[in-house]
Chain A
Amino acid sequence: MNFPFLPERASTFSDQIDALGLVLTSLTIFFTAIVFALLLFFGIRYRRGSKVNRAKPQHHNLAMELTWSIIPLILGLAVFVAAMIPYTQIYNPPANAEEIFVIGKRWMWHIEHTNGIRENNEMHVPMGRPFKLTMISQDVIHGFYVPAFRIKRDAIPGRYNTVWFEATRPGKYHLFCTEYCGTNHSEMGGWVYVMTPGDYADWLKRGGTQGANDARVETAAEQGRELFTTLACSNCHGTQDTVRAPSLVGIYNRPRKLLSGQIVNADDEYLRGAIRKPEDHLLEGYGQVTTMPAYRDDQLTEEQVHNLIVYIKSLGGAAGSPVANGKGPRTAPISNSREGSLGRPAHVTSPGLGGSAAPTNGTTPPTGSTAPGTNGTTPANATPGQPSTAVELKSGAQTTSSPSAPTRNTGSTL
């Protein structure tokens, strides 16, 4: 057995945090030593019956008491500031950070790279490049923790959390779940592999660890684009704002004005909310209700929602990190087999309505506020290959046409 004292240091934060730890440990040892020494000294010197000078005992001394109140306060506030600065860095990813999507579920970590490579309980990253982790949970709260990186973030159901890191040293490091999540909590974890850029390129070329047999992996944006088609999103969300719906081209990370008058940024969290609960994200100018169905988690997995967001992001927007692999549309046949890792096919919409002739918002132009009944209707399950009436968006279309504020009074969202 060995006696490890410090965890490995493998990210740009590690040294900073350890330096902070050193300061805190010095303070702890210093003050503990003072207290122990004084207790010992007073205890022995003033033990009962000892012949020492006890004249003029003091029962209070304002100056002294203020001293030992104010010095700890000042030291404490200094440590507060020293610890605050790296904290603001850890949770504010740099603009050039590449994205990795993380799903926590009992009891595994599912990792999806933007290039489409998926991993379970393993995460391969190159050193020297910043990565932003966007994470969510499918069930209970989990905690994503890589001790060697000194980073941790809870993965929470129903909302995205982010953290970032830049690995500095190749190696294999523990990945833990730190938020108690049930029976096999202690087995929910795995390894983070930090690779040299060359090794990482090779790994990518092989299509990841599991993808060795696949000639090619679809990127997250490509999968999102397919979903966008199969779910018939493109029936309403075209390249231009229409009476039915705003275009999604170029909206990413740009301000959107809601029906309530609130102005929000169309970031990942907003887009996810708009897909999951469109009725809570109504845009100004599109009426009081929306015809867009709510895609709950029994209809779209978190991974699928995220792929849609990556796709929307690839349509352009502000100051987001560029999608590295948002290349042109693939002509290769769509394989749904990759979706199997989450246990459901890509084209699933509402299980109960699969292929049914529910009123489609493509054929029934909603009349906005006068038709509350259309709220929550489900679109036709457009099977792949079905001709789409709307302009099909090309995933590579970096259209820069900024969306003009729509004025038509029609229900929609996004």
Chain B
Amino acid sequence: MSATALPPAGLPASAGETKSTYLNWSYSVKDWLLTIDHKRIAVLYLISISIMFLLGGFAAMAIRVELTSPHGQLMTSEVYNKMFTMHGVLMVFFFLVPSIPATLGNFVIPLMIGAKDLAFPRLNLLSWYLYTIGGLMALAAMIMGGVDTGWTFYTPYSSVYSNTNVSLTLVGIFIAGFSSIATGINFIVTVHKMRAPGMTWFRLPLFIWAMYSTSVVIILGTPVVAITLALVVVERLLHLGIFNPALGGDPILFQHMFWFYSHPAVYIMILPSMGIISEIIACFSRKRVFGYSFIAFSSLAIGVFGFLVWGHHMFVTGQSMYTSMVFSALSFIVAVPSAIKVFNWTATMYKGQVWFTAPMIYALGFIGLFTVGGLTGLYLASLAMDVHLNMTYFVVAHFHFVMVGGATLGYLGGLHFWWPKITGRMYPEGWAKLAAAISFVGFNLTFLPQFIVGYLGMPRRYHYYPAEYQIWHVLSSAGASVLAIGYGIPVIYFLWSLKYGPKAGDNPWGAVGLEWMTSSPPPMENFHEIPVVTWEAYDYDSMTESEAQADRESMPGAGAAVRQEAARDAEEGHPETGHPAGD
């Protein structure tokens, strides 16, 4: 169904070097902005979310500079409040939620399952336009004076008291929400209907499982937050009593509805990263992921249980004690699938051939930081502990460990992993490893002090604070500068690599996923011939000894190239030389 939608419908695979890839197929702006190729849309998304990330990061730096002094120094409280709102709104709704699904997911899902495109290419393009329109509205609201509600938009402050551009921002997020929904539907249908012959569910790479779970969460959760935010707009504009207690509304209702989405949204952000980590760990350990089915089903379990724990954001709001108990118990249970993943990734390295590339370093950093992020989440799931820590910097530190140490590090790992596939170019590995190390150090220096200052009692969203907390804020701000350098270096070498990077080759990592069997960058139609899958995911062990030898000793990827040849033989009807399924 997608084949007919591809622009170069009649383009033969051997159209010549000049038009052999999705990148050089055409250079006109129109062909980019009206493209329905998933790879080009992924690149459009990549550019968009990078801009949002830079703006959100700018706001974060402004906050960190301001907080080096307990009395403030650069801005008024109004501006400070708008800064952290801008940081939260841009990072959560316009960077983290779309980051991996809309860029890396968009690019590699069809490649990984052997499809020519997503199921609904036009819907895919629409989703980018919705994202862009929503993003521009949110930015317009910020330029025209800003929003000061915090990204959580708690009522009745947002719906009655704030006199900033709340409505415009909310409409922007509302519209961007449809882009998420469109992407989610597209992925679900694609995974169901467009897998290559032989690509059974349990031969799918774990990234696909993670994206599938994410998509289910997206389409179930996003409509709820869209309705909720729309109701805030309705209350602001029409003064209907929905959340405003003065008009008979219930401000706590908003929190229930908001967190019904926004807690699962945490999993929308972290599940795709977990999928990437599974890919990277398997590839650079040269080993099948340990406990494939445990990891696959833990993704689904996280998706399901993630919907049942929203009340743990509300332990101090006065919800029934028994309600809190149920939410607390479920929150401890949802931690288990995450623990399973961490242990399984670690076990994957056992008896592997561990190759410390830049993506691998990001992946190892992810596992470490996500472990801390997950475990500190248990403090907040613990009822009495949460009474003390709720709404303090401890919460800030915890979710940054999950969102930055987890989701963002996973995103960067994935970007480094698939960059050669996306662009056909290699980035300088040494710089990439250095950047990963700097990010890791800077990140910890930024957010570890926030655990301590949070336990001391420092509330979040505070412009001024008691002087005894200053030392921890100074350390945190120092860490943020290091982190900014860690993020800045990749921007430079990625851009550099576009022109000067050495040609990457089809499979620089010697990985076994289908996406590595096509050329880099891939042709417009992804595969010159649709692959037939006869082997399990992460089939590294069936490399012959000579393949493995070549892989280790000569240039990277050589073993896989040998192996790939064997796979092609298998497709061509010599299964005995290929890899028996289920070995």
| A contacts, CB < 8 Å to B | 1-7, 13, 16-17, 20-21, 24, 27-28, 31-32, 35-36, 38-39, 42-43, 46-49, 53-61, 64-65, 68-69, 72-73, 76-77, 79-80, 82-88, 90-92, 106, 139-141, 143, 145, 147-148, 150-154, 156-159, 161, 174, 176-187, 297
Contacts and interface: CB of A to CB of B under 8 A. Distances in A.
26 contacts: A3-B471, A6-B456, A7-B456, A17-B385, A24-B379, A39-B349, A46-B354, A49-B552, A60-B291, A64-B347, A65-B340, A68-B343, A69-B339, A72-B335, A73-B333, A80-B329, A80-B381, A83-B386, A87-B315, A152-B387, A157-B245, A180-B152, A183-B81, A186-B459, A186-B463, A186-B465
B382 A145 contact: no
A65 B335 contact: no
A187 B354 contact: no
A49 B352 CA distance: 10
Given A152-B390, A177-B459, A182-B162, A69 B340 contact: yes
Given A39-B364, A65-B294, A183-B78, A87 B251 contact: no
Nearest to A298: B246
A214 to B, nearest CB: 32
Question: Across chains A and B, which 10 residue pairs bring their CB atoms closest together, nearest first?
Answer: A147-B457, A158-B245, A83-B382, A87-B383, A86-B384, A76-B332, A42-B349, A186-B462, A178-B391, A28-B375
Residue among A2, A157, A161 with max Cβ neighbours from chain B (10 Å):
A157
Interface string B372-397: 10011011011111111011100000
Contacts of A58: 290, 347, 350-351
Interface in B435-492: 452, 455-457, 459-466, 468-471
A57 B287 contact: yes
B355 interface: yes
B336 interface: yes
B185 to A, nearest CB: 32
B573 interface: no
Interface stretch (B153-161, B418-426, B523-531): B153-161
B86 interface: no
B455 A6 contact: yes
Nearest to B361: A43
B346 to A, nearest CB: 5
Residue among A69, A148, A179, A297 with max Cβ neighbours from chain B (10 Å):
A179
B457 A182 contact: no
Contact of A158 (B251, B336, B376): B251
A144 B368 CA distance: 35
Given A28-B372, A38-B346, A84 B388 contact: no
Contacts of B154: 140-141, 179-180
Q: How large is the interface on B (under 10, 10 to 19, 20 to 34, 35 or more residues)?
A: 35 or more
Contacts of A72: 335-336, 339
Interface in B337-363: 339-340, 342-344, 346-347, 349-356
A157 B251 contact: yes
A87 B285 contact: no
Nearest to A86: B384
Contact of A7 (B339, B372, B455, B553): B455
Nearest to A139: B161
A86 B328 CA distance: 14
Interface of B: 77-78, 81, 148-150, 152, 154, 156-157, 160-162, 245-246, 250-252, 285-294, 315-318, 321, 324-325, 328-329, 332-333, 335-336, 339-340, 342-344, 346-347, 349-356, 364, 367-368, 371-372, 375-376, 378-379, 381-388, 390-392, 452, 455-457, 459-466, 468-471, 541, 552-553
A65 B289 CA distance: 13
Given A48-B354, A152-B391, A141 B251 contact: yes
B375 A27 contact: yes
A3 B468 CA distance: 8
A147 B388 contact: yes
Contacts of B325: 84, 87
B384 A174 contact: no
A interface, over-half SS: mixed
Contact of A176 (B339, B382, B457): B457
Given A39-B367, A54-B351, A76-B336, 12 more contacts: A4-B468, A27-B378, A28-B378, A39-B368, A46-B349, A57-B350, A69-B336, A83-B328, A159-B318, A178-B390, A180-B461, A186-B464
A54 B324 CA distance: 48
Given A42-B352, A158-B251, A32 B336 contact: no
B350 A179 contact: no
Contacts of B148: 182-183
B318 A185 contact: no
Contacts of B349: 38-39, 42-43, 46
Contacts of B156: 139-141, 157
Contacts of A106: 161
Contacts of A35: 342-343, 346, 367-368, 371
B476 to A, nearest CB: 13
A185 to B, nearest CB: 6
B459 A2 contact: no
B339 A42 contact: no
Contacts of B352: 42, 46, 54, 57
Contacts of A150: 387-388
Contacts of A158: 245-246, 250-251
Contact of B288 (A59, A77, A85, A145): A59
A87 B252 contact: no
Contact of A60 (B250, B293, B456): B293
A383 B317 CA distance: 40
Contacts of A2: 468, 471
A1 B471 contact: yes
A156 B371 contact: no
Contacts of A16: 384
A213 B351 CA distance: 81
A152 B333 contact: no
Contacts of B245: 156-159
Nearest to A179: B391
A397 B383 CA distance: 42
A77 B336 CA distance: 11
Nearest to B288: A59
Contacts of B342: 35
Nearest to B150: A180
A149 to B, nearest CB: 9
A143 B379 contact: no
A236 B54 CA distance: 66
A57 B316 contact: no
Contacts of B364: 39, 43
A86 B356 CA distance: 47
A39 B360 CA distance: 11
Given A68-B340, A156-B252, A180-B461, A90 B541 contact: no
Contacts of A180: 81, 149-150, 152, 154, 157, 460-461
Given A35-B367, A90-B387, A80 B465 contact: no
A347 to B, nearest CB: 23
A143 B386 CA distance: 13
Nearest to A161: B318
